[in-house]
């Protein structure tokens, strides 16, 4: 292990504003990094992060994938479902969930995703038509993903604003807070109680939604328990909602910063998926994922002891010049292929990758049908402060309507 004075603190606000200079130093000076104070190791190079994702034997998920102490521990699976499990438990639960959460269900959802996107876009465009500054996150990027999840699960329209507010509350962190605050715990309890009532209701009266499909999923007589269904619903709120909101805002921000790259997209929607992919590479929502060492692991001639926490940094991996040419340039259409790690890799590859990509494509496509340009008010943009996701809490902009 090389010695370097570079410091990685996932709770530091300066790091949240721009982590990429920190990552570069880590890759160059300390590819295996140790933070004694916060008690973790970190891998930052593309090949090492990929090896970490693919090693689900020595690197365990069962204590959770977040650095926040309250989220870590044997209870992690209660709110993070199979993401916080190892095989065989992980495989059993994932296989059962996959019976309900199918590619076909996602495909059939697309017309409804378009309708939900249009509803929020119409409101935003109407506000912007008078020259008013609109908050892209408040009006659009922050509403669409949670409404799509609610649509999938069968949450009634009337409850969606409330459910969305709880979901936001689960994720928010104030400066200097290195654990889950009591407001987030309260929001989590509210969500779980709401979903418990929903599950009980579907047991009595099945419906044509994912909640019912999960309750009915069965393999050789094995079914999901109510708690397992709840855990997956909660995972969708955390993993599926938050990251897609960030993806939509990051795409808009970097598009604005690179106008030459998005100019052709106003007339050629076929390139929008490439915009989504480059955003996932250039500034991924999911920056840091934790694993727990089981047994012994060696990187760079250093043994990482059993039980230690190892952070995998996909945000850094995507800017590694060992894997990508000119990685700090935002280039729509570059060759990314299988090198993308935004959805992980290996056994825990994100089950919602299709859904996130479809939502982002639909959202950006519909937005670009309505506008011919936009400006971001960078001075008043506000970043999210989180130890593992990256994006905007507020992204004020003015739109040039078609």
Contact 281, 247 (CB under 8 A): no
Q: For the chain, give the percent of residues with pLDDT over 90.
A: 84
Q: For the chain, give the percent of residues with pLDDT over 70.
A: 97
pLDDT per residue over 226-282, tens digit each?
999 999 999 998 888 889 999 999 999 999 999 999 999 999 999 999 999 999 999
Distance CA(218)–CA(223), nearest Å, equals 5
Q: Is the pLDDT of residue 50 over 90?
A: yes
What pLDDT does residue 401 have? 95
Sign of the Cα torsion 269, 273, 275, 276 reads positive
SS3 content of the chain, % helix, strand, coil (to 5): 55, 10, 35
Name every residue whose Cβ is closer than 8 Å to that of residue 322 and which is 6 or more positions away in sequence. 27, 45, 46, 47
pLDDT per residue over 309-368, tens digit each?
999 999 999 999 999 999 999 999 999 989 999 999 999 999 999 999 999 999 999 999
Distance CA(231)–CA(366), nearest Å, equals 33
Lowest mean pLDDT of 20-29, 140-149, 238-247, 330-339, name the range. Answer: 238-247
Distance CA(392)–CA(382), nearest Å, equals 6
Which pairs from 21-27 meet CB under 8 Å and 24+ separation? 23/313, 23/315, 23/316, 23/319, 24/319, 26/313, 26/316, 27/316, 27/320, 27/322
Neighbours of 113 (CB within 10 A): 23
Q: Which of 351, 334, 217, 348 is nearest to 277 (CA)?
A: 334
Q: What is the DSSP letter of 43?
A: E
Tell me which fold the domain 13-401 belongs to: Cytochrome p450 (1.10.630)
Q: Is the model's pTM score more than 0.75?
A: yes
Sign of the Cα torsion 361, 364, 370, 373 reads negative
E strand segments, 138-223:
218-219, 222-223
Q: Whats the size of the chain, residue-wise?
A: 402
What pLDDT does residue 175 have? 62
Contact 56, 86 (CB under 8 A): yes
């Amino acid at each position: 292990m090389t010695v370097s004075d570079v410091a990685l603190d996932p709770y530091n606000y300066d790091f949240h504003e721009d982590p990429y200079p920190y990552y570069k130093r880590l890759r160059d000076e300390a590819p295996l990094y140790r933070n004694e104070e916060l008690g973790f190791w970190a891998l930052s190079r593309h090949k090492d992060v990929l090896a970490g994702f693919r090693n689900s034997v020595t690197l365990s998920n069962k204590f959770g994938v977040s650095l926040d102490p309250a989220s870590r521990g044997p209870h992690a699976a209660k709110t993070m479902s199979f993401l916080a499990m190892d095989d065989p438990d992980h495989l059993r639960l994932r296989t059962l969930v996959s019976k309900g959460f199918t590619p076909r269900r996602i495909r059939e959802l697309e017309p409804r995703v378009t309708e939900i996107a249009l509803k929020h876009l119409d409101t935003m465009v109407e506000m912007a038509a008078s020259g008013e500054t609109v908050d892209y996150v408040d009006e659009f990027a922050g509403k669409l993903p949670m409404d799509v999840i609610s649509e999938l699960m069968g949450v009634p329209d009337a409850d969606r604003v409330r459910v969305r507010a709880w979901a936001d509350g689960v994720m928010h962190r104030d400066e200097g807070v290195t654990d889950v605050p009591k407001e987030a715990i309260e929001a989590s309890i509210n969500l779980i109680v709401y979903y418990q009532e929903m599950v009980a209701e579907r047991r009595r009266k099945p419906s044509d939604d994912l909640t019912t499909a999960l309750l009915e999923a069965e393999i050789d007589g094995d079914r999901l328990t109510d708690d397992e269904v709840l855990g997956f619903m909660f995972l969708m709120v955390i993993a599926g909602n938050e990251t897609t909101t960030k993806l939509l805002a990051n795409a808009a921000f970097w598009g604005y910063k690179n106008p030459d790259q998005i100019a052709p997209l106003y007339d050629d929607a076929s390139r929008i998926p490439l915009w989504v992919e480059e955003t996932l590479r250039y500034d991924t929502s999911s920056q840091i994922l934790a694993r727990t060492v089981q047994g012994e692991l060696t990187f760079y001639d250093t043994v990482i002891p059993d039980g230690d926490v190892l952070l995998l940094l996909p945000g850094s991996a995507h800017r590694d010049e060992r894997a990508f040419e000119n990685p700090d340039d935002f280039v729509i259409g570059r060759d990314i292929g299988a090198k993308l790690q935004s959805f992980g890799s290996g056994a825990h590859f994100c089950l919602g990758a299709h859904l996130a990509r479809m939502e982002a494509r639909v959202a950006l496509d519909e937005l670009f049908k309505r506008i011919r340009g936009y400006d971001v008010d960078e001075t008043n943009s506000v970043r999210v402060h989180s130890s593992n996701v990256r994006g905007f809490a507020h992204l004020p902009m003015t739109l040039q309507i078609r």
